[in-house]
Structure 1
Amino acid sequence: MSVLVSIIVPCYNQAHYLSEALQSVSDQTYTNWECIVVNDGSPDNTEQITKQWLEKDARFKYVYQENGGLSSARNFGIKNSLGVFILPLDADDILHPDYLKKTVPVLNKNSDLGIVSCYRYFFVGNKLNIIKECKASGSNYVDILFENKLVCSSIYRRTCWDEVGGYDETMKKGFEDWEFWLNVTKRGWKFQIVEAFLFYYRKAKKSMLVDTVNIHSEASMEYIFRKHKELYTKHFDNTAKVLFYYIKTHRLGKMKIKNSLEYKIGKGVMKPFRIVYKLLSQANKKE
């Protein structure tokens, strides 16, 4: 008998993409799945869109919670699921029709595997509009210490989720997937990459990942480093090498900006305003 897979789809302000994601679930050639859409307190029409799918296929389910963030929504969905294997799917991403067909047997026949991932496409607008390909590699926590190589929609054993206590709900600014994979693999679980493009990641101008990379990446990385400091201490030399590389890159980036023509022009334009501001500040102090 085939293994039941629970596909967890949190949705917050992404109802306009949701049907595309759920269609990719419906199109799976592996049929023993349930799909739980978690309305994370979304103010849009997530509920109405989901109910259309509930009427089409009894394997779709719907749950609601007050907004708690992505990690919280995933955990809530998993708590309401029955599957032996878990597959998280963001509401704006798409699965290849053979995703489950090619990943479930790999996970099922290898008892030391906790996670199975795959190659992925990045697309804009239509999934046929591929702008980038990503072929990951690796097999254990060392391979993901400094870079998350696993797609967010990697399939894994429910046992792994139980062991780590679910996704870290304090992580609301991204990288929660990376932290989860580290938490699982540091306990001895291995991961395997299926060498096929089975996942389509939507590249948007505005998204949690974009915000994380542009604004919150350092804070999120520091949190992960500190939470799993025993791993980074164990691999201290590599940790130091990576951190100093970031420092050097940041310093060179600042130097490049300061030496640019645009920066020099901007500095010249602002000079009179700085002088006026300084004089006004001195005058206010005298008063």
Structure 2
Amino acid sequence: MEKVSVIMPCYNDGEYITDAVASVFGQSYTNIELIVIDDGSDDPKTVSILEELEKQGNVKLLHTERLRPAGARNAGIEIATGKYILPVDADDLIEPCYIERAVQVMEEKENIGIVYCRADLFGEKSGPWELPEYSLRSMLLDNVIFVTALFRKEDWESVGGFRTNMEHGMEDYDFWLSLLELGREVEQLPETLFHYRIKPRSRTTKFQESAAVVQETYRNIYLQHPRLYEKYKDEYAIILRDALIEQLFLNRAYQESLGILERLRKNPFLKYWIKKFILK
């Protein structure tokens, strides 16, 4: 049974990390090492909880100074002794059979380099995480694989780890593209085995607030993978055109709906009800 190293960065997530750790040690797969990276936490509650975890003896605790998620993951993977790596953030949860099912795929199919599953949301929002199905076509346009996916440590070494110069995040997307450049393939388990916590504020919500930041980040990802995008340049051009056409039609439908609403507002009989139930 090959060892799996679970890599868990933590920055002031003491409120959640106990549950995350429990979900790791509740796995049906038993050959696991858990490496928690305290990335400069300054919250007293978090520091205390991490100290208690370290005393238990079954958690490797590594201290870093605000390397941010990509750097913290790299630091943990650097000392990991497992053949396989599974990042799990300190506020998320995994189902008991996730690692076992993912390792089974890796062991049976040497061409597979990334194994992930279906996921749902909890916290500020709940329900299925409606990500598009994996395909190379979808990955060339946007990330459809969350960071809590199984991969080989040797592949991480081959591509130089997670890129740490991505100030606004998306380093997992960049990393998956690097593995695809190695010729690795992807498999998604059909069950919902990962639970992603939605917080009121996070790196993701900050990232989504600025169009300029999003544009810059995706531009950099494109420029960081010239071989991949050159290889699929014709398909990528078609994907972009299709996406643009879809957005144009969606925008037109939205504008038309605004026009219909404005005409309805001018109807005295409907004006009150629209104001009460639609525009409140």
Question: How far, CA to CA, are the matches of 2:131 and 2:66 in structure 1?
Answer: 34
Where does 1:116-195 land on structure 2 (aligned, <5 Å)?
A: 116-124=115-123, 130-134=126-130, 137-138=133-134, 141-195=136-190
Amino acid at match of 1:147: D
Q: Which residue of 2 aligns with 1:115?
A: 114
Give the deviation of 1:23 after TM superposition: 1.4
Amino acid at match of 1:208: R
* 3-state SS in 2 of match to 1:30: coil
Amino acid at match of 2:107: N
Give the conservation status (yes or no) of the 8 Å contact 2:6–2:86: yes
* 3-state SS in 1 of match to 2:190: strand
Give the conservation status (yes or no) of the 8 Å contact 1:71–1:172: no
* Residue 198 to residue 252, structure 1, CA distance change in 2 (3 Å): closer
* 3-state SS in 2 of match to 1:82: coil
The answer to whether the aligner puts 1:55 opposite 2:50 as a matched pair is no
Question: How far, CA to CA, are the matches of 2:42 and 2:53 in structure 1?
Answer: 19
Question: How far, CA to CA, are the matches of 1:8 and 1:206 in structure 2?
Answer: 23
Q: Which residue of 1 aligns with 2:15?
A: 16
Deviations 1:199-220 (A, max 9, x none): 0011222111222233232221
Structure 2 regions of 5+ residues with no counterpart? 260-280
Q: Which residue of 1 aligns with 2:274?
A: none
* 3-state SS in 2 of match to 1:154: coil
* Pick aligned residue for 2:215 from 218, 222, 233: 218
* 3-state SS in 1 of match to 2:16: helix
* Residue 7 to residue 251, structure 1, CA distance change in 2 (3 Å): same
Give the conservation status (yes or no) of the 8 Å contact 1:124–1:204: yes
Identity %: 31
Say how many residue pairs are matched: 255
Question: How far, CA to CA, are the matches of 1:234 and 1:108 in structure 2?
Answer: 29
Give the deviation of 1:17 after TM superposition: 1.5
Question: How far, CA to CA, are the matches of 1:205 and 1:251 in structure 2?
Answer: 31
Structure of larger gyration radius: 1
Where does 1:243-262 land on structure 2 (aligned, <5 Å)?
A: 243=240, 249=247
Where does 1:21-100 land on structure 2 (aligned, <5 Å)?
A: 21-45=20-44, 46-56=46-56, 58-100=57-99
Q: Which residue of 1 aligns with 2:105?
A: 106
* Pick aligned residue for 1:229 from 194, 208, 226: 226
> After the TM superposition, which of the residue ranges 230-239 and 192-201 deviates more from structure 2?
230-239
Give the deviation of 1:132 after TM superposition: 2.4
Q: Which residue of 2 aligns with 1:269?
A: none
Question: How far, CA to CA, are the matches of 1:214 and 1:254 in structure 2?
Answer: 23
The TM-score, its normalising length taken from structure 1, stands at 0.79
* 3-state SS in 2 of match to 1:145: helix
Structure 1 regions of 5+ residues with no counterpart? 262-287
